[in-house]
Amino acid sequence: MEALSDRPVHEASLNAANTKLSRLETALGKADRPDFGLCANGNNPFPPSRILLMPEATLCILCAEKS
């Protein structure tokens, strides 16, 4: 096992991968809900790119910008 603290570059890419993974897991955990991918304010569907970038979002881009 390599010591990650000696490898700052590896550590940074590992952190980025972990962030991506946790976002995907969040999206996956919400995928079986009936409101998945829909805006909480008007039921507009999100574009898939928004779900992947911000799976924790409950508003579409238009509503998020207004609030």
Residue closer to Zn ion (CB basis): 6 or 65: 65
Binding status of residue 58 toward Zn ion by CB under 5 A: no
Q: Based on the shown chain and the rule CB under 5 A, indicate whether residue 51 belongs to the binding site for Zn ion.
A: no
* Smallest separation (angstroms) from Zn ion to the CB of 45: 9
Q: What secondary structure does DSSP assign to 3-67, as a single string?
A: -GGG-HHHHHHHHHHHHHHHHHHHHHHHTTSTTTTB-TTT-PBPPHHHHHH-TT--S-HHHHHH-
Among the listed ranges 6-14, 17-25, 49-57, 58-66, the one in contact with Zn ion (CB under 5 A) is 58-66
Nearest to 57 by CA among 30, 20, 18: 30
Among 23, 38, 41, 58, binds Zn ion (CB under 5 A): 41
